[in-house]
Amino acid sequence: MKPNTLLPLLAAGIIGCSNGNSIPPASPEKFSAGAGYVHLTAPPDRVYGFDGQLRGGKTLVTIPWPNTDWYYGVEVMVYGNHASNTQVTPKGTNEYTLHTLGSGVGFVGGYQYENHENLGVGIESQLALMQDDVTRERTKNSGLTSFDNLLLVYGYTGFGVRLKASSLCVIPSAGFRTDLTEAFPMGSVSIAYCPNKR
């Protein structure tokens, strides 16, 4: 067989094996990418007017495990809040402010079933390491201001459901994060581009 005849046949995937079966053309593995909203909780602090609610966003990228319905990937989160409180005392007014800026990076792994109409459902597990950078500021009536800074580290575990229609996925998830002394609920919802498998 001439080379200029062999190459097109290879590309079309119709060259027979020794048992007479044809080799199907390989389909490229595709990745999924998306973004979403996250809502977290943390220890409240009434003195600073902090209700324990943190809000932010996240991005995620997943890729399929070759030739299976399993997938894996990473997600990155950024979140925070600002709180303040004023206390009036016989000696004057005290101002309290609290700033929280947090971030996290995690692993995502799951299984997704998809039918020939490109409708699918999947379940995934999420693990992440997170840190909260908390700055507290106190201004007393004398004008004296003091600061302190806390770096809090949490581990997160949760589960999500991946609902697919055409090439769009909606992924609600819930779980909790802990510093090994307390556990705090956390949830998110994401929208992602999910390429069709078939």
Q: Which residue has the tokens 């090439």?
A: 167
Query: Are the beta carbons of 144 and 180 closer than 8 angstroms?
Result: no
Q: Is the pLDDT of residue 2 over 70?
A: no
Q: Which residues contact 28 (CB under 8 A, 6 or more apart)?
A: none
In DSSP terms, which residues pair with 78 in a beta bridge? 57, 103
Residue in this structure with the two tokens 């595709």, named with its chain if needed: 30
- Per-residue confidence (pLDDT) for residue 13, from 0 to 100: 44
Tokens of 9: 């046949």
Decide if domain 30-193 falls under CATH 2.40.160.20.
Answer: yes
Q: What is the DSSP string of 171-194?
A: EEEEEEEE-SS-EEEEEEEEEEE-
Q: Which two tokens stand for residue 73?
A: 């990937």
More confident residue, 90 or 175: 175
What's the pLDDT tens digit per position in 38-79?
Answer: 999 999 999 999 999 999 999 999 999 988 999 999 999 999
In 3-state terms, what secondary structure has residue 11?
helix
Whole-model pTM?
Answer: 0.80
